[in-house]
């Protein structure tokens, strides 16, 4: 059985997301325990930063494989669809 090129990255991503989930649970505990607001904000920023890192990792892998494959295929329609897809996702960030 052939392994998908992004299977390893997805495993790494799952691991990172589990860690981020733990961070979020820690933030929830801090709120429940009435921790100092600045300490909570620092932890929220750390979790957001970790999510951004995962987002960039997935984006890079998508561009390295899916987008590149669309361009290599020689199909302007496929390449255009991948570019439109990326632009839609990027617009949602603003």
Residue 74: CATH number of its domain: 1.20.58.1000
46: containing domain: 8-91
pLDDT for 69 equals 92
CA gap 71, 80 in Å, rounded: 9
Residue 53, in any domain of the structure: yes
pLDDT for 2 equals 39
pLDDT for 8 equals 64
pTM: 0.77
In order along the chain (94 residues), what is the average pLDDT of each group of 10 residues? 56 93 98 98 98 93 92 92 92 82
pLDDT for 3 equals 43
Residue 1, in any domain of the structure: no
| 8 A C-beta contact, residue 68 and residue 41 | no
Contacts of residues 10-14 at CB distance under 8 Å and 24 or more positions apart, as own/partner, are: 12/57, 13/54, 13/57, 13/58
| 8 A C-beta contact, residue 12 and residue 50 | no
Sign of the Cα pseudo-torsion (50, 52, 54, 57, in order): negative
């Amino acid at each position: 059985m052939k392994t998908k090129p992004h299977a390893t990255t997805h495993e790494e991503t799952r691991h990172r997301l589990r860690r981020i989930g733990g961070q979020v649970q820690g933030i929830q505990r801090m709120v429940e325990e009435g921790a100092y607001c600045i300490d909570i904000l620092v932890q929220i920023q750390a979790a957001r930063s970790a999510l951004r890192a995962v987002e960039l990792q997935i984006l890079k892998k998508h561009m390295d494989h899916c987008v590149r494959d669309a361009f290599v295929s020689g199909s302007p329609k496929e390449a255009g669809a991948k570019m439109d897809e990326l632009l839609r996702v990027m617009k949602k960030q603003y």
